[in-house]
Structure 1
């Protein structure tokens, strides 16, 4: 599910939100993935739909009474509506537009209710063939509901009640006292499936949290929370065909602070620098830490004057004193080398190489300076 680029909208209607609620403190990304799982795929959808359409059609053919013809018409109408909404939702999700999630879930409930209605009228019809077909269809549908919708256990429970609850309602009208046992069977079945659904949902969320945290650690620096080299490479790869600037920052005076006051103070200083870089960059900028006291910023600012002004602002922010709990505030500086894409390359190594050369020049000129990489030589 994590590799599916489509984004399905979260429900907006309060009852639907309650039915699909993933629980407290669940990240938005995981909530979206759980909603995506409720849509399933066209083959899964077709399997369930063909079952109920075939059964309702055969039953209506065997017993062409108004109530069975109504059931058949309901099945075709609801399934067609669900198919259309599913196609619309999948296209909208692929284009990152709002999807009709509330309507899709509401139609799913209507489908379960239609199957329940068919089961009721089949049981009270007195025709054991019709009753058997309807009950087998309902049982098959409940199996699919339980398997596919454990991402929303309340929704699964509601659909099971709508589908099999009719067995309890029909039992007193069948003339078979033995069927009254359904008043025990169905509630116990619903309870057991609900418990299983909530447990599976809990396990699924825990697994998705672990995957999310693992992916974050793979792409981010554990100390500052900024992107690491792998995360930076991912950003550069995405922007490889666009225009961007890479600023390579190296702190001036950090080693002296670290050697004098210890690694604990040095780590706190790095975290403080990272916080200032986050605050000093724009929404579309990307900040990364390569290790030690080296940081990188990727920005779409390209004009030399704009880059110089941006760098000067960053240098001013980083050079301001840091209160790290020592007797006196700590002050450091920063030198910056700048490379441009695609002028100096489109991959991370090329851009870092050009920016590092510019950074070396800035250091040689007396530190706390900014230097733009020289144009690449054409062979």
Structure 2
């Protein structure tokens, strides 16, 4: 177990991709969430399998002819295969391994076709008990199919057609002309249930997109698209959870020098544009895996897990040097600003955002006091007065 959210594979075969497709504009993370929904709602899944197996078995016992025996055997094997594939997929998803999504989708379609076949042979058998039982089952399964598979509305629509279609096509062989009305009722019923599946899917996608946008806005600065203080705090917490001391964790606190002058001289629109250009430049300057955040005004944070000591100071100096290069705000406005930087390191200056920010802020103040446009690494905290280092204590005891 990795502790990560289980992730089910997207279908890879042409047919299954078409069946599970939800539209060209659906983001990839929502597509994964919709596919995961196909593997959920375990109580509905188990109830459906139990229902169809029980009905096919009872009718095969009542009418022990080859068509009914074959239907019963097929239903048992198909349901067993669906359950096995479902359990395998859930275990693999929990381990972040590829899942048999294509096979799972096809087994669902085959299961629906099996119900339809059972309905056809039951209706044409002339046994009204079997016909009533299997038609009730087929109708009940449509509701569960629509509810459980709205993440793949085309798949749900096909399963509904395969489940109920044979009920109508069996009516000419029953000898009751009144039942031919099914040819009128069936298209409307299939259309309405299919539209319900597509409607649920559309509503779910819209809801998930809204939640995704709200979550992004809550953790990101809308002007620059960078993480805000909330996003920075979450990223730092995630870094500290996997922190093992094997490589440094640094927080670089950047404050622009001269930004207010640009804002006052050229207006807030120019100031906003400058902040966006600084953000873009920071993204290009940091290493892959580092985080850039804007925590307000003209203050930025770089969170890096890859540098320490001398390389860390060189990174800070490089950021100061590159950020201080001129910016072309528009065709007529070109400005130059500076930036001061203070750096704190974990665990030397703490293992939480407040402690690291406090140490980096102190180093930033020193950089500004020394003339701005420079980088300062916060000094290591001193041992409390009268306290001996651990090594000295050990040496004294040994002697």
The TM-score with structure 2 as length reference comes to 0.91
Match of 2:139 in 1: 139
Give 2:262's match in structure 1, choosing from 257, 260, 273. Answer: 257
User: In the aligned structure 2, how far is the partner of 1:159 from the partner of 1:114?
Assistant: 10
User: In the aligned structure 1, how far is the partner of 2:317 from the partner of 2:41?
Assistant: 53
Match of 1:219 in 2: 219
Aligned pairs for 1:298-337 within 5 A: 298-325=303-330, 327-337=332-342
Does the 8 A contact of 1:9 with 1:100 survive in 2? yes
1:352 aligns with 2:357: yes
CA deviation after TM superposition for structure 1 residue 378, in Å: 4.1
User: In the aligned structure 2, how far is the partner of 1:42 from the partner of 1:191?
Assistant: 27
Match of 1:6 in 2: 6
Residue-pair matches, total: 376
Match of 2:43 in 1: 43
Match of 1:113 in 2: 113
User: In the aligned structure 2, how far is the partner of 1:134 from the partner of 1:144?
Assistant: 15
Match of 1:174 in 2: 174
User: In the aligned structure 2, how far is the partner of 1:65 from the partner of 1:8?
Assistant: 41
| SS in structure 1 of the partner of residue 252 of structure 2 | strand
Does the 8 A contact of 2:151 with 2:201 survive in 1? yes
1:341 aligns with 2:340: no
Match of 2:201 in 1: 201
Match of 1:269 in 2: 274
Does the 8 A contact of 1:362 with 1:369 survive in 2? yes
CA deviation after TM superposition for structure 1 residue 151, in Å: 2.2
Does the 8 A contact of 2:8 with 2:35 survive in 1? yes
Match of 1:240 in 2: 240
CA deviation after TM superposition for structure 1 residue 238, in Å: 1.1
1:68 aligns with 2:73: no
User: In the aligned structure 2, how far is the partner of 1:326 from the partner of 1:129?
Assistant: 83
User: In the aligned structure 1, how far is the partner of 2:321 from the partner of 2:182?
Assistant: 76
| SS in structure 2 of the partner of residue 154 of structure 1 | helix
Q: Which runs of 5+ in 2 are unaligned?
A: 385-399
CA deviation after TM superposition for structure 1 residue 308, in Å: 2.0
Does the 8 A contact of 1:302 with 1:340 survive in 2? no
CA deviation after TM superposition for structure 1 residue 44, in Å: 2.2
1:182-211 CA distances to partner (integer Å, 9 max, x unpaired)?
111111101111222222222211111111
User: In the aligned structure 2, how far is the partner of 1:377 from the partner of 1:48?
Assistant: 68
CA deviation after TM superposition for structure 1 residue 302, in Å: 3.4
Name the stretch that deviates more: 195-204 or 112-121. Answer: 195-204
User: In the aligned structure 2, how far is the partner of 1:49 from the partner of 1:348?
Assistant: 51
| SS in structure 1 of the partner of residue 119 of structure 2 | helix
User: In the aligned structure 2, how far is the partner of 1:252 from the partner of 1:361?
Assistant: 14
1:193-234 CA distances to partner (integer Å, 9 max, x unpaired)?
122222222221111111110000000011111000011111
| SS in structure 2 of the partner of residue 363 of structure 1 | helix
Match of 1:157 in 2: 157
Does the 8 A contact of 1:268 with 1:324 survive in 2? yes
Does the 8 A contact of 2:364 with 2:375 survive in 1? yes
User: In the aligned structure 1, how far is the partner of 2:127 from the partner of 2:195?
Assistant: 35
| SS in structure 2 of the partner of residue 111 of structure 1 | helix
User: In the aligned structure 2, how far is the partner of 1:281 from the partner of 1:66?
Assistant: 71
User: In the aligned structure 2, how far is the partner of 1:363 from the partner of 1:300?
Assistant: 25
Name the stretch that deviates more: 278-287 or 133-142. Answer: 278-287
Q: Rg: which structure is higher? A: 2
Match of 1:28 in 2: 28
Does the 8 A contact of 1:19 with 1:152 survive in 2? yes
User: In the aligned structure 1, how far is the partner of 2:271 from the partner of 2:310?
Assistant: 33
Match of 2:378 in 1: 373
Deviating 4+ runs (over 3 angstroms): none
Match of 2:18 in 1: 18
Does the 8 A contact of 2:86 with 2:104 survive in 1? yes
Q: Which runs of 5+ in 1 are unaligned?
A: none
